[in-house]
Amino acid sequence: MRIGVLVTGDIAVRAAHSLNAHPAIDEVVVIGPARSKSFQVVESTDGCDFLIGTGAKAPNTARDQGVPLVWDGEDQVPGVAVWGASPQGLTLALASRETDPRVVAVAHPELDEGSDHLARFPDPIGQLDVIDGTYGGQRLAAAASPNEFAAALAIGAERRVTVVDQGAFMSGIALAAAVTIADREPKAVWDDALPYLRAAIAMGLVMAED
């Protein structure tokens, strides 16, 4: 599989490095104009099976190139093969594996501070005010992490599952792992949660449960 990276920010670059070491990926290239010390820069998306990118402009760019996109946005958009490839989507993927999820929450340095109620995240994040909201039409509470770490938390009827890591690292892997579930059927990462989570773990995230 050949993956083209749209230069849309640090998260896409981090994802590219995670994909470059994955056995299912034959080649990762950067779509120019750009500079890269780690990857070949090409002017055309010819031969790319999928593109990865972040931000509001990435779907339009992918559609112009005629190559399906793996994206961190929360909703289905024309031209996007997989969406929700973000810490929020990772959290929803965790929750989709639980029976009767009672708490579904994410904390990340890039999110806004909450004020609706308190949620207890694992150390080194701790208890935070969260905002009750939705992401991709799914219920999700969100909070601003007080430090560089991020956490995905799902508490179901039978167990508590969490992932804690450096925020930018988690964001990069959340995007990269979504490439492994991309096919002809457009989907959110939580629609194919088990292989998505397995790929994220293989790329370096650690999931804990109790």
How do residues 181-190 score in pLDDT, each as one tens digit?
999 899 999 9
Contact by Cβ (8 Å): 144, 128: yes
Q: Can you give the pTM of this predicted structure?
A: 0.95
Q: Does residue 115 carry a pLDDT above 90?
A: no
Domains of the chain: 2-85+169-209 (3.40.50.720), 87-167 (no CATH)
Q: What is the pLDDT of residues 8-66, one digit of tens each?
A: 999 999 999 999 999 989 999 999 888 888 899 999 999 999 999 999 999 999 999 99
Query: How many angstroms separate the CA atoms of 152 and 92, rounded?
Result: 9
Query: How many angstroms separate the CA atoms of 117 and 105, rounded?
Result: 11
Beta pairing partners, 207: 163
Query: How many angstroms separate the CA atoms of 85 and 105, rounded?
Result: 16
